[in-house]
Structure 1
Amino acid sequence: MSPSASRGASAPPEPSVPLAPSRAADAASSEELVRRACDGDGDAWAALTRRYTGMLWAIARSHGLSRPDAADVVQTVWLRLVERLSGLRDPGRVGAWLAVTTAREAERARLRAAQWPPAAAERRQPAVERSPERVYGTRERLGRVARALEELPERCRRLLRLFAASPSYADAAAALGIPVGSVGPTRARCLSALRRRLGDDF
């Protein structure tokens, strides 16, 4: 484990928008970033976290976790990567490794929360109240989307929430446990189903 990687293993905050590249390292391939991170390159590790943190959060939240529980999962996954970085069989598929690991950790966290519902409820973040005049329209639309999304099958809910982080099809397939070739058609069917539930006036 490199010292620089160890220092960067804490979970970044949940991104509200996709994390934009801000360094030259972001243009490098994932395989190159893994090799450089193994050699102690802090910029490479930072680029990896920028590239994949949004996807990790999306996967964790798609399992129905609260924000604190999702943060724990994201941090755990980055720590797992630090521990196994030099031993990855295929560094170029680090995104798929992260997706699968996050899905597993999120499912474990979901099961733990189900066993201890009072503790899980205590960790939920209170809603932030804003001026009704400013947010009514947006809140109404988001509410319609949320209700329509809950009417979809679980696989569709997870897939659409996951794609909010713009993962590659390979990473999405790994997270969902489906063939890469079925991601596109499945996503299209899920989006069509969501649009039907929202109606033509949305």
Structure 2
Amino acid sequence: MEDERFRTALEHADDGIVAGRAMDGDVEAFAVLVRRYTPMMRAYTQRMLNASADVDDIVQESFVTAWQRFGELEDPAKVKSWLMRIVSRKAVDRIRAIRPAVDIDSIDRPAPLHASPTAVVEARAGVAALGAALRELPDAQRECWVLREIGGYSYEEISEELDIPVSTARGLLARARKYMIVRMEEWR
């Protein structure tokens, strides 16, 4: 009973507390971080790698790296951005290693049971158009767009992640957004 209350409290604790405990070697606290951030890290990695089969491997490698390098985390409250930087670097490394990228148009995902065939076709066409538009962006603009729109990074975090000035990150993101809006206009 006591253990159950502890686990529940840990699940609802803020990032700073959970990361602090994980930094002290608490495996259960680390498991909370894994459960909390795996979906976001997977979504980010899928978008960066154009839905590559390597997504789960990269997310898993990122958590292994995080566990090994917890001593480098300066502020436990910023564990989310720290984890996203790790997964971002691993994804970029994989992109560099496997160029050319996998074509997401060739991946056939099963339709949700509640979706009509028309809705499924329209959604797939939209995803294909989004993937095509993202592939057309220059690398720097695509990285900024994915970090902001998928990863939820702030301008400062994008700047730090890509090692560019904040003004450059803003400019790249503005150009990427403008291009994506024009390119995706028919899907609004």
| Range of TM-score over shorter length | 0.5 to 0.7
In structure 2, give the amino acid aligned to 1:196. V
TM-score calculated relative to the size of structure 2: 0.67
User: Where in structure 1 do 4 or more consecutive aligned residues deviate above 6 Å?
Assistant: none
Deviation of 1:135 (Å): 1.0
- Say what the alpha-carbon RMSD is for the aligned residues: 3.5
Q: Which residue of 2 aligns with 1:9?
A: none
Deviation of 1:153 (Å): 1.8
Q: Tell me if the contact between 1:100 and 1:174 (Cα under 8 Å) persists in the aligned partners.
A: no
Q: Which residue of 1 aligns with 2:6?
A: none
SS in 2 for 1:106: helix
Q: Which residue of 2 aligns with 1:91?
A: 75
Which one has more relative contact order, counting CA pairs under 8 Å at least 6 apart? 1
Alignment of 1:24 with 2:20, yes or no, is no
In structure 2, give the amino acid aligned to 1:23. E
Distance in 2 between residues matched to 1:96 and 1:133, nearest whole Å? 38
Distance in 1 between residues matched to 2:187 and 2:123, nearest whole Å? 15
Q: Given the superposition, is the C-alpha separation of residues 151 and 114 from structure 1 closer, same or farther in structure 2, using an over 3 Å criterion?
A: closer
Deviation of 1:152 (Å): 2.0
Deviation of 1:71 (Å): 1.2
Q: 2:67 aligns with which of 82, 103, 115?
A: 82
Deviation of 1:159 (Å): 2.5
Deviation of 1:191 (Å): 1.3
In structure 1, list runs of 5 or more residues that go unmatched: 1-21
Q: Given the superposition, is the C-alpha separation of residues 187 and 54 from structure 1 closer, same or farther in structure 2, using an over 3 Å criterion?
A: farther
Q: Which residue of 2 aligns with 1:6?
A: none
- Number of paired residues? 171
In structure 2, give the amino acid aligned to 1:36. R
Query: Per-residue displacement from partner, 1:8-60 (whole Å, max 9, x unpaired)?
Result: xxxxxxxxxxxxxx9321xx243x33221133445532442345434433443
Q: Given the superposition, is the C-alpha separation of residues 65 and 140 from structure 1 closer, same or farther in structure 2, using an over 3 Å criterion?
A: closer
In structure 2, list runs of 5 or more residues that go unmatched: 1-9
Distance in 2 between residues matched to 1:48 and 1:182, nearest whole Å? 32
* Aligned sequence identity (%): 27
Q: Which residue of 2 aligns with 1:73?
A: 58
Deviation of 1:103 (Å): 3.1
Distance in 2 between residues matched to 1:135 and 1:178, nearest whole Å? 39
Q: Which residue of 2 aligns with 1:173?
A: 159
Deviation of 1:76 (Å): 0.8
Q: Given the superposition, is the C-alpha separation of residues 69 and 151 from structure 1 closer, same or farther in structure 2, using an over 3 Å criterion?
A: same
Q: Given the superposition, is the C-alpha separation of residues 71 and 144 from structure 1 closer, same or farther in structure 2, using an over 3 Å criterion?
A: same
In structure 1, give the amino acid aligned to 2:12. A
SS in 2 for 1:100: helix
SS in 2 for 1:127: coil
Alignment of 1:117-132 (within 5 A): 126-130=107-111, 132=117
Alignment of 1:37-116 (within 5 A): 37-42=22-27, 44-64=29-49, 66-85=51-70, 87-88=71-72, 90-92=74-76, 93-114=78-99
Query: Per-residue displacement from partner, 1:51-78 (whole Å, max 9, x unpaired)?
Result: 5434433443344265431211111111
Deviates more, 1:70-79 or 1:135-144: 135-144
SS in 1 for 2:109: coil
Alignment of 1:35 with 2:20, yes or no, is yes
Q: Given the superposition, is the C-alpha separation of residues 138 and 104 from structure 1 closer, same or farther in structure 2, using an over 3 Å criterion?
A: closer
